[in-house]
Amino acid sequence: MKIKILVTAFWMAGIFSSCSDDKGQEKTLMTDIMNKHDTVMGKSDLIIKYRTSLDSVTKTSKDTTEVHALKSQLNMADEAMETWMHKFNPDFTGKSHAEVITYLQSQKKQIGRVDSLINLSLDKTDKYLKKK
């Protein structure tokens, strides 16, 4: 009888510890996503600054093709961030751990792509503006 109680207690302890591991994994992914979000959002002032600089270049330059392409890339990157933010849904009510993890992993990849897109557009614009 005591062995059955002991086995049951160990089994329940294992279930509870795996649940806390599940929540820990979810929390870690969410933290990674929010940290990347904060990093990307920190670049929005630079996007605005570069757009303004490109606007100034269009007033003094005859060849504006490259400027328009750079502005378009900046706008596309900024819109990608806005779209991601509007679609991101951290409400996991009624979702299983597996569903939450799958969702968070996909969101981590998506915000990573947005970050890459923003970095690429900022780098190209920075190089262009340094030539001017």
DSSP 22-72: HHHHHHHHHHHHHHHHHHHHTTHHHHHHHHHHHHHHHHH-S--HHHHHHHH
pLDDT digits 0-9 by tens, 118-130: 999 999 999 999 9
What CA–CA distance (Å, rounded) separates 49 from 5?
67
- Answer yes or no: is pLDDT of 55 > 50: yes
pLDDT at 20: 58
pLDDT digits 0-9 by tens, 80-108: 999 999 999 999 999 999 999 999 999 99
Q: Which residue has the higher pLDDT, 8 or 20?
A: 20
